[in-house]
Amino acid sequence: MHRDCRVPGSAVLYVPRVAPGQERTAAQLTAWHPSVPGVVEVLHARFTEHSYPMHVHDAWTLLIVDDGAVRYDLDGHRHGTPDGTVSLLPPQVPHNGSPATAQGFRKRVLYLDMTQLDERFIGAAVDGPDLADPLLRDRVARLHTALAHRGEELEAESRLALIGERLRGHLRPSPAFGQPQGGGGIAGGLRELLDERLVEGLTLERAAGLLHAHPAHLVRAFSAAFGIAPHQYLVSRRVDLARRLLLDGQSPREVATATGFYDQAHLTRHFKRVIGTTPGRYTKGART
């Protein structure tokens, strides 16, 4: 039995539970932009087989799993999502994700901007991303409910404020995380160049010239410092931007051009690999 959870302004119809006998490869997604400051995006999804490759986000990922379990690597360490936990994955830190069982998983995710938690909390989140806090989990679940109903923005803002306060209570502020180790300023310099040229891109040779380093040294330093290759970092940032533009109503063809992909097919290939569905299905709600 399916429950219609169409959200005002949402891009996709989310079917929370897969009916018996449905294809193991079935997946459902809902994504939308809520009118609540601090929340960049809301995502509800169910996957049975999709595995996320290593990627990064420019926002905090606040995750609860309703069915099944997820295993993931963050900063070179293996983690999971035991029952009742809340997982908080920091921005700019590579992670992946895959089902921990053959039944897959059903998750709800909030992407929060840096007004909720600033960069001082990134290090603590890397050290302990999975929080066993029933009250926090209940508050996150209630925030999802509020966000699903237009006109409940004040309730959502109130619940988000309490969630932010509790998250900050779990995390100890520390100096900015992500300073490259063993690479001088080379890795950080390359990341800045990639961020500045997210859409237009740049060649490795050009980056090497700007940073006065050999191209191979650039790749090694970046990968060692951030746990992800430069091209993987750039693609995942572009996919993140593509998601936002798709939810804003732009067509996949327009988004491909606006995010630096060669064409729509190029966008589709990388989008499906990272997100688990195509840009068209992401916005139209067709099941994968």
> What pTM did the predictor assign?
0.82
Tell me the Ramachandran region of residue 259: left when phi exceeds 0, alpha when psi lies from -120 to 50, beta otherwise.
Answer: alpha
Instruction: Give me the residues of the chain with pLDDT under 70, please.
Output: 1-26, 175-184, 285-288
Question: What does the domain layout of the chain look like in residue ranges?
Answer: 28-170, 186-284
Asked whether the beta carbons of 38 and 117 are under 8 A apart, the reply is: no
Q: Residue 110 pairs with which residues in a beta bridge?
A: 42, 62
Cite the DSSP H helix spans in the chain. Answer: 122-127, 134-147, 153-170, 186-196, 204-211, 215-226, 230-247, 252-258, 264-275, 279-284
How many Cα neighbours within 13 Å face the side chain of 199?
8
CATH class of the 28-170 domain in this structure: mainly beta
In this predicted structure, what is the pLDDT of residue 76? 83
Pick the CATH number of 186-284 from 3.40.50.620, 3.90.1150.10, 1.10.10.60, 3.40.1350.10: 1.10.10.60
